[in-house]
Structure 1
């Protein structure tokens, strides 16, 4: 069973939402303040956060920013923003700050469950430990200046380990597995979300921009105008 933490000042939401999500093997805990959420995160393990945009103490956008910049143990926790602030600008800001998905209120509980299941499938917060032994064939992708260790879900550049969110890692792996192949924005959204509903192509541009900054100075991602993106690094010579 996956454990979720809801951060929302609407106390009436937690009870019925907890009962509904239990049908999908999702256990929901809830707090109403960011400070309480940080205390729970310090003491317990959660597989994903459901974050409201309008909160006391600080808004959800600032909380998400601090989460991604703070304790290393929390940086990769998937975050789904669930908020009444559903216009395009707020969605862009939320995704740019590191949210993995964004669902505006009012919402359908079944869609929330589906989106949570999607981000939990593509994010591995606790990979199973493997014995220390030579990497199996095809467990690494090696390029000039960049190495992707698929067994450990790690990315290394010339400066060492590159810290990526789960979604950023999945995007990089998707492109790097087929260097030179052009993926459209819709291709990327459909592959990462596992569904075709509510395509939001601007979200892909933001995600690529974030990933490109983290990979600098490497020119790993190439933009093809009106077409999409491809991985552009040459393979490392053996």
Structure 2
């Protein structure tokens, strides 16, 4: 390999390799959801790249690699939004009629990805479904439906985002990232974290008590229930979050290479 290519590869490695998982093309998802998830995934990946990471997007609905193998060659993991997780993944039966887009392949892949990242102690960021997958991977459970008329969604199918405030718990990783006690966020979800998984803690909540963020008690592990990558969200929120995340990813890459 020419020296210029070696230098380029070395620089990319120092920035850190990030596996970003989505389930945009699951056959069980509606056309509008697929299109919207494409937009969100593109925005999230672009923000991570702008913050310095090398991003590999993988489709959880059509995986071609084993999650553990992907994690083994990565310096961080990002799990993005999507449809509902099957209640069976957290030991429950379906209790509501409005679960949507459930895909066994996507569930198995992203839960495997989250568990492998946790085992490897890699930086891990989950957004919306990604936060829920993180919680379930750690042995937690979900509220299957928050019910109609909540602050978290406008339409019953979550096809329209809404804006509401969250309170960030002082002393948490999330508080350190934003340096604020409150954020106005964009969200659209009818499910939420119920029992928090092992090794995790809540780090933000909405006014109705719904958990809006969870994080690891050790290492750089964070899940946010909202969508900072939504086109109508404050772009600074996404940039701030991705800068913090990719900084942790780059630090992991340098540690692996024995660099200070």
The structure having more radius of gyration, on CA atoms, is: 1
Do both proteins adopt the same fold according to a TM-score greater than 0.5, normalized to the shorter chain?
no
Flag the structure with more relative contact order, 1 or 2, with Cα contacts below 8 A and sequence separation at least 6.
2
TM tier, smaller? 0.3 to 0.5
